Amino acid sequence: MSPFAGAQFASPEVIQHAPALLIAAPLTAACVAALSPSARWAWFASLGGALVSLWMALCLAAEVARSGAVSYAVGGFAPPLGIELRLDDLSVFFCLLVSVMGVATSIASASLLRLELPERDHSLMQAGFMLAFTGLLGLTATGDAFNAFVFLEVSSIGTYALVAMGASQDRRALTAAFQYLVMGTIGATLFVIGVGLLYAVTGTLNMADMAERLAASSSDTAAIAGLALITVGLALKAAMFPLHAWLPGAYSAGPTMVVAFLAGTATKVSVYLLIRFLMDVAGGLESAGEGLLTWLIAPMAGIAAIVASVQAVFQTETRRILAYSSIAQIGYVLLGVTSGSVAGLTAALFLLFTHAMIKTVIFLSLGAIDHRGSRLETLAGAGREAPWTIAALALAILGLAGAPFTAGFLAKWRLLGALADDGRIWAVVAIAASSLTALVYCGRILETVLFRTRRPAGATISEASPAALAAIWFLAASSVWYGVDASALYDLARQAAASVMGASP
């Protein structure tokens, strides 16, 4: 049963328009932030937009738990002819993920921007952040395949600009943003061509209607080619090995605010679209969807889990260590997605949410202590100078390593159990080997911040602001709590997995 069953967060009138308000709130906030006369007002606009979106996500979670999938006809034109916003258990799961990480990032953003960028750039940063936030929420809420492409580009355009704005502190940000732009454009192009092929076969862009029509096209070559192009395009957006080249640069050179949000949400939402198209929209092309998952995504995910973890061990820059760690973790998630069982998909979704929390905590903590030096040794002795921030960072690193009594441990344990039950021993071995390797690079970070005392001259460490600490500790405490009692989050993940696979939770 959904943890939101029986909950009521707003009046029926508000809930009726919650799908539209979910997207309209951050979009409006982006416009207000861009026109704000000061950085303070831009921050208020950003925080307000993120909070309203979280409120609407909670309303929708309760409504879906109570009445099933929610459909909202945009402009009054009924689907499938009109544009539809459609939210089911899977959509709501990702709406909550994006909203929670967005609120946490927004709360901490004011102090992060003061440390990294001149005040004249704060309003544009907040506007770009809200634009990316809008795009990601739109991706989770839309029921239209072409509008999924539109929202994909809305989120990407905002993110490209945000990464490039880090050039005032690190000139590599311009190169990273350009590389991200080129790779992202290739991915989006493949995606929209794939959608075009599916439209040519079905004559519709509504994803629910498309699934029904594909049920009668089980051997259509154009439709299968469309799904293959969509898969490759989204794999690039999700930084799936070997299409991950853009991610280390974006993580290492971008401003902390955008990197924290990107690490917690962007690749995760791309995984959502992969699940939606290959396990839901594929419909009658079930064998094609399973083939892409089994023979393309699963092997690459297994290789990513090992290779990316090994690459992380040999990095000297903190953010690049974490970037390769994220590539490996996406590999774990995709191994669960490709398992073909409700238990495997549930464990993958649970791991995906916990990883989003952990990575957001890590990047917010690093930014909040003004970790401008990218090399790991500049963090030496940070635990003595910023004990509260480093304590949260240490908890998150332990979760990333999979230490017992953390959400990271429980998520990996349940994923390994689900894969073993499905007979995927090779995937269990890949994750186990990668997890052992993760102990090395996670141990390096913990040893540096907690036990070393000597660092390069000029590397300063300062405690996070109260607002940033509040956001950091909320997520850090949540990740520990879900390592002890994960029933609420796991039930939500099980509902989402069951809904997309057409099984009872």
Instruction: Please list the pLDDT of the chain residue by residue as tens digits (505 residues).
Output: 667 777 778 788 888 889 999 999 999 999 999 998 888 899 999 999 999 999 999 999 999 988 888 888 887 777 777 788 899 999 999 999 999 999 999 998 888 888 877 888 888 889 989 999 999 999 999 989 899 999 998 888 888 888 887 767 767 778 888 888 888 889 889 999 999 999 888 888 888 888 888 877 656 788 888 888 998 888 888 888 888 777 887 787 778 888 888 888 888 898 999 888 888 887 656 666 667 777 788 888 899 889 999 998 988 888 889 989 989 999 999 998 888 788 889 999 999 999 999 999 999 988 888 665 577 877 877 778 888 888 999 999 999 888 888 888 999 999 999 999 888 899 899 999 999 999 998 998 888 888 877 666 555 677 788 888 899 999 999 988 998 888 889 889 999 988 887 655 5
Give me the pLDDT at residue 396, please: 92
Can you tell me the distance from the alpha carbon of 308 to that of 335, in angstroms, rounded to the nearest whole number?
A: 15
Burial class (CB in 10 A: 0-12, 13-18, 19+), 160: buried
Supply the pLDDT for residue 295. 78
Residue 386 confidence (pLDDT)? 82
DSSP one-letter code for 76:
G
Predicted pLDDT of residue 372: 56
Environment class of 78 (CB within 10 Å of its CB; exposed 0-12, middle 13-18, buried 19+): exposed
* Closest listed residue to residue 400, CA positions, set 295, 286, 263: 263
Distance CA 482, CA 373 (A): 32
Q: What is the DSSP letter of 142?
A: B
- Three-state secondary structure call for residue 375: strand
How far the first Cα of the chain sits from its last, in Å, is 8
pLDDT at 285: 63
User: How many other C-beta atoms lie within 10 A of the C-beta of residue 473?
Assistant: 18
247: left (phi over 0), alpha (psi -120 to 50) or beta: alpha
Q: Note whether 179 and 200 are within 8 A (CB).
A: no
> What is the model's pLDDT at position 28?
94
Spatial distance between the Cα atoms of 431 and 301, rounded to a whole number of angstroms: 10
Query: What pLDDT is recorded for position 158?
Result: 81
- Cβ atoms 66, 115 nearer than 8 A: no
